[in-house]
Structure 1
């Protein structure tokens, strides 16, 4: 009897080990619905090679939450400057805790990420890269991939195992662009438009590649006024234009972007310069009181901007 008991214990033990080994084998080679293997991947980023964990659940990607939302991913914490967050993303990020834009180490540890993503090497505080790596695997975007929201979305899809989702999102966006472009062309023909942002007492005219201007000019094909054509190439540091200089703004339509009650808004509207501008005379000024999606690059932001442009120009 004792022999039989020992023998049965041995058989059960072998069976359990076999089950464990089989499960491990399946975990190492199981496939996701989109055909990708469920395993860690090693990629090359701006800093070298980094191993990305399979199916990361707590992702920190400050100022790139647009791409996460587009992929159906909720970040562990969202970018902020004090109490300021990306307003246009709040329907998707309600209740998500804030983390300061420069990712202080203590806040980063508290967020308990299993993947940290930076938009560039320049966005990391000097000397802290190795410290972030000790908290969680850390991916640093190459500048060219980060600056182009389409490339950013595709890379983010690769990192998070959502490449098919990224492809679908881009295809849907392109289909939306195609229809909107045709509708706007039918509505305003070759008339031009400009985007003017009022921040504090400063006025910023969007160059043709600055944020929402990419949607207006390149996606939707709206004509650029001469003043925009003559602007210098968009650089990281954005220079305001004087109120007097706006006298040369020859656009048929103007998107006036600002928060309500900005100091420079009333000054602008009361000025003789503003009243002399073509679009103002024609009654073609569209006030946009949520500047957040106009002043960032991203798929979600671009779709919102496109909707606002469509509503304004085709009504």
Structure 2
């Protein structure tokens, strides 16, 4: 068969789609011979079968593609299990003749692209308003088929690299869609590790790295050849977050996208006329030709502003180099003297005769985790985490990337964390963290709090599994802080803060000692849709550790004997769980108000006596987390509630 002839025929023929079906034959079920009423494409996607078209017989397993013309006799006999296939019926007219009668059958090298097209066509076929779209997909299907036929001419070469070729073809087809290593592995039915190894063996790069390069090369071309905005270009190549696109573009290409566009255009002008390029001298005012604010993140306290200034003359460049050299030598000299002086002072305080140690610090440490011992960097610089923001910041560690929720936790406003600090942290989305962004950050340590996602993180970098929740309860907040600190060798820093906090707790207990009388008890509840949560004396959340464990307010008997961190009950039995004082966590204001308007609630003795403390702010407050900042704020809030000084 001559592919060039096929291309010519498809280009000139008038095509009419007749039907698109998906069929499934069970083992023992036979499609008896029948005369096909129109030209067909038949793509098998699962199972094995003996297929006969006219006098040709084929033993099919997995993906196979058959094309046959109108009038051929087709029969299918499944060999084992079920056999699933798609079939497209179409008519082709060229000067009142049917030109596409040639029969061919082959095993495609990139079957998933064909499968994706035919699956989309089948899904949209019954929607009249989608018929034009279906026809467009059909032409894409035909184009891919003809490309496959051409590849068959180089069968040996293709088969040795089939996996990599398929992945590359898939990426080039679907680069604008969300693609991750795990999604590729699922599509091609490999483990993520094995697929990545096979791809890298053939190409020298990982699949995601290839995807990023391909996307950015396309983006670069669009920047140079269109007037589309950076946001439009980012979306067109698969990046919905223009800020992230700008960052990754700058990291890979060396300059921001808009800067790249502007500088390329400027170079083109210079090539046409060198007089278009501005010059300067030492006494000249430098003209700012361009400000890169293509993402407008300066309006939201995010992003960077880069300036493109005129090119310095040779004398300016030399002067700058000499000045930098002078400053560098000066800095080195001053730094050495200062370091020596400080070191000397420090040693004098301990023992003047003790020489300065020259031992090199260990480069790694061993950390014990629920998944076993992990070797981690002794002093990690680039930390990413899906939990524990307050713990990290209190230890002086600013992560390079974190889960979205962590960037707006309820304690942050009161803790006065500088916005410029938070702006340096990459938003990595929700659970699991965005693996593509995480990969680009190149973390030297990742902290994962949910075991289901740890395997994914471990493919990117050294990962410590530190569960936030254990079963349905949570570890004590101070122990949790100690665990985080131990990862970084900052145990002493954690103990110093704990000592200060425990002193504040002692002072707080003294302040509220006369509020709850001897023999009285305290309950903590939270209303939710169709249920009420009563928090346990240990292992609970939403301030229960501060109320029960820190301030040592007496729990009810039921709270003492809960196996988990809470118990879920109905509103009807709630009075049986309540003590003399009730703390109500206001997680959902509307549901809480409805429950507190019920007759059952109003009949509770503590409610009648006004011994109810409502606290919290719709899950965006200091009671959601149990980091050091939250604990400090929780303590103040609860004390103020008990003393009636809450504002």
Please give the secondary structure, in 1, of the residue aligned with 2:447. Answer: strand
Q: Find the aligned partners of 2:498 and 2:579 in 1 and give their Cα distance.
A: 30
* Aligned residue pairs, count: 275
TM-score normalized by the length of structure 1 = 0.74
Q: Find the aligned partners of 1:49 and 1:225 in 2 and give their Cα distance.
A: 40
CA distance change for structure 1 residues 260 and 149 in 2, over 3 Å: closer, same or farther? closer
Partners of 2:382 and 2:442 within 8 A in 1? yes
Deviations 1:186-231 (A, max 9, x none): 332333222212344542111111122222112211111344345x
Residue in structure 1 matched with residue 324 of structure 2 by the alignment: none
Q: Find the aligned partners of 1:50 and 1:142 in 2 and give their Cα distance.
A: 15
Q: Shift of residue 114 of structure 1?
A: 2.3
Q: Which of the numbers 197, 217, 221 marks the counterpart of 2:548?
A: 217
Residue in structure 2 matched with residue 166 of structure 1 by the alignment: 494
Residue in structure 2 matched with residue 206 of structure 1 by the alignment: 535
Please give the secondary structure, in 2, of the residue aligned with 1:309. Answer: helix
Partners of 2:535 and 2:559 within 8 A in 1? yes
Q: Shift of residue 169 of structure 1?
A: 0.8
Root-mean-square deviation (Å): 3.4
The 4+ residue runs of structure 1 with deviation greater than 4 A are 35-38
Q: Find the aligned partners of 2:589 and 2:551 in 1 and give their Cα distance.
A: 30
Matches within 5 A, 1:275-294: 275-290=602-617, 291=619, 292-294=621-623
1:241 maps to 2:566: no
Residue in structure 1 matched with residue 259 of structure 2 by the alignment: none
Matches within 5 A, 1:133-212: 135-141=460-466, 147-190=475-518, 191-209=520-538, 210-211=540-541, 212=543
Partners of 2:364 and 2:376 within 8 A in 1? yes
Shifted more, 199-208 versus 176-185: the winner is: 199-208
1:304 maps to 2:628: no
Q: Which structure has greater strand proportion?
A: 2
Residue in structure 1 matched with residue 381 of structure 2 by the alignment: 57
Please give the secondary structure, in 2, of the residue aligned with 1:222. Answer: coil
Q: Find the aligned partners of 1:119 and 1:195 in 2 and give their Cα distance.
A: 26
CA distance change for structure 1 residues 160 and 208 in 2, over 3 Å: closer, same or farther? same
CA distance change for structure 1 residues 80 and 197 in 2, over 3 Å: closer, same or farther? farther
Partners of 2:584 and 2:613 within 8 A in 1? yes
Partners of 1:45 and 1:140 within 8 A in 2? no
CA distance change for structure 1 residues 78 and 201 in 2, over 3 Å: closer, same or farther? farther
Q: Find the aligned partners of 2:443 and 2:531 in 1 and give their Cα distance.
A: 38
Alignment gaps of 5+ in structure 2: 1-335, 347-356
Residue in structure 2 matched with residue 88 of structure 1 by the alignment: 411
Q: Shift of residue 256 of structure 1?
A: 1.5
Q: Which of the numbers 88, 92, 102 marks the counterpart of 2:432?
A: 102
Residue in structure 1 matched with residue 447 of structure 2 by the alignment: 117
Matches within 5 A, 1:11-26: none
Partners of 1:42 and 1:49 within 8 A in 2? no
CA distance change for structure 1 residues 53 and 217 in 2, over 3 Å: closer, same or farther? same
Q: Shift of residue 62 of structure 1?
A: 1.6
Q: Shift of residue 168 of structure 1?
A: 0.9
Deviations 1:139-189 (A, max 9, x none): 223788x83432332233233243332111111111111111222223323
Alignment gaps of 5+ in structure 1: 1-22
Q: Shift of residue 59 of structure 1?
A: 1.4
TM-score normalized by the length of structure 2 = 0.38
